[in-house]
Amino acid sequence: MNSKQILLALIVPITWGLGFTLAKIGMEQFSALLIMSIRFGIAGLVLVWFTKPPWGHMREIFVVALIGSTIQYALTYNGLKGIDASTAAILVQLEGPILALMGTVLLKEKLGLTRALGMGFAFLGVFIIAGEPRLDGHIDSVILLVAGSTVWAVAQIMISRLKGLSGITILAWVAIMATPQMLIASLIIEDGQWQAITSASLVDWSIIFYLAFIMTVVGYSVWYHLLSSVDVSQVSPFLMLLPISSIIAGMVLLDEKLTLSMIIGGLMIMTGVASTLINWRWPKKQINLP
């Protein structure tokens, strides 16, 4: 990875980490699938004007939308509702190790000893934080989050194989296809949608704006671009920085407490991510955003 790609990769955990916390606040007004359908509906309407329909890949994108958006968000965000945002953000970090391992096994990418040890160290940090007493009695939320992380990783492998499409094209059409999927699922398994929309405050809609424009349009455009440009095992360690921004946002916005376990685990995650950078090769070719 070159310096530009590393800077772009840092945008992802910052925007997603804050968005993760804001989504928990937003779900006090909107149900999980409803808020996600509005989020992706707005993002899709913004992005669709900047890309042509990928007619030869519509089936693959439909499946990616179903697995990586509809199913994944139903699992992850219903899990988020049951526990602190900062703790949930830590559990979601299972995405990184799972994704890197899938990249190694399915895509035959080289992980390397240094990177493998670094990710293992970061993975241990995740488990230290996950051992917090606050998780007692919330095993169902933990299971939902872990399942969501696994489903998400599967979808990212699928996305990484769409080499002929730009990040914006993938994002726009995944959003367009995921929106009706999520809305239909919401109408089937959730209730109170119309009341939630009509009674939403300016703060509620501001959260929707952030989730749609900053977290989705900006964050996912960068992420999909990186997936199509570099190895999955190289970019995935940056996701381990996500809980840092989520923990800070949780402390500021939700008055969540920073414990010793979080400090130790967070430092281990940062150290693990730094270790994965040591073994990276910096290519001469400059890859620009589409």
pLDDT in tens, 225-253: 787 777 766 777 777 777 788 888 888 88
pTM attached to this predicted model: 0.78
User: What is the pLDDT, as a whole number, of residue 35?
Assistant: 95
Distance CA 185, CA 276 (A): 39
**Cα first-last separation, the chain:** 17
Least confident of 107-111, 243-247, 272-276: 272-276
Residues 22-39 have a mean pLDDT of 94
Confidence of residue 289 (pLDDT cuts 50, 70, 90): very low
Using the predicted structure, report yes or no on whether residue 46 has a pLDDT greater than 70.
yes
Between 15-24, 25-34, 242-251, the lowest mean confidence (pLDDT) is in 242-251
- Average pLDDT in the 188-206 region? 94
Where does the pLDDT of residue 108 fall: very low under 50, low under 70, confident under 90, or very high at 90 and above?
A: low
Q: Which pLDDT score, from 0 to 100, does residue 282 have?
A: 35
Q: What integer pLDDT is reported at residue 290 of this predicted model? A: 27
Mean pLDDT, rounded, of the chain:
81
Query: Residue 153 and residue 172: Cα distance in Å, rounded?
Result: 19
Alpha-carbon gap, residue 41 to 54, rounded angstroms: 18
The pLDDT of residue 173 is above 70:
yes
* Residue from 91, 95, 94, 73 nearest 135 by CA: 91
Q: How many CB atoms lie within 10 A of CB 224?
A: 23
User: Phi and psi at residue 80, in whole multiples of 5°?
Assistant: -60, -35
Residues 6+ apart with CB under 8 A from 263: none
What tokens were used for 214? 């900053």
* pLDDT over threshold 70, residue 109: no
Nearest to 164, CA basis, from 9, 57, 4, 65: 57
Label residue 283 by pLDDT band (50, 70, 90): very low
The percentage of residues in the chain with a pLDDT greater than 90, rounded to a whole number, is: 31
Residue 279: pLDDT over 50: no
Nearest to 52 by CA among 172, 225, 223, 218: 172
Q: Cα dist. 285→21, 225, 230, 281 in Å?
A: 36, 15, 11, 12
How many CB atoms within 10 Å of residue 257? 12
Which token pair is 154? 């599967």
Of the candidates 60, 76, 77, which has an alpha carbon nearest to the alpha carbon of residue 25? 77
Q: What is the rounded distance in angstroms from the CA atom of residue 126 to the CA atom of residue 268?
A: 8
Name which of 108-122, 216-230, 256-270 the model is least confident about.
Answer: 108-122
What pLDDT band is residue 280 in, cutting at 50, 70 and 90? Answer: very low
Distance from C-alpha of 40 to C-alpha of 47, rounded to nearest angstrom? 10
pLDDT of residue 271: 74
Q: Which one is predicted more confidently, 32 or 99? A: 32
pLDDT, average across residues 48-55: 87
Tell me what pLDDT residue 50 has: 85
pLDDT bracket for residue 273 (50, 70, 90): low
Distances, alpha carbon 3 to alpha carbons 74, 115, 118, 230, 289, in Å: 35, 18, 20, 13, 14
One DSSP character per residue, 243-284 reads HHHHHHHHHHHH-PPPPHHHHHHHHHHHHHHHHHHHT----S
Mean pLDDT for 276-284 is: 43
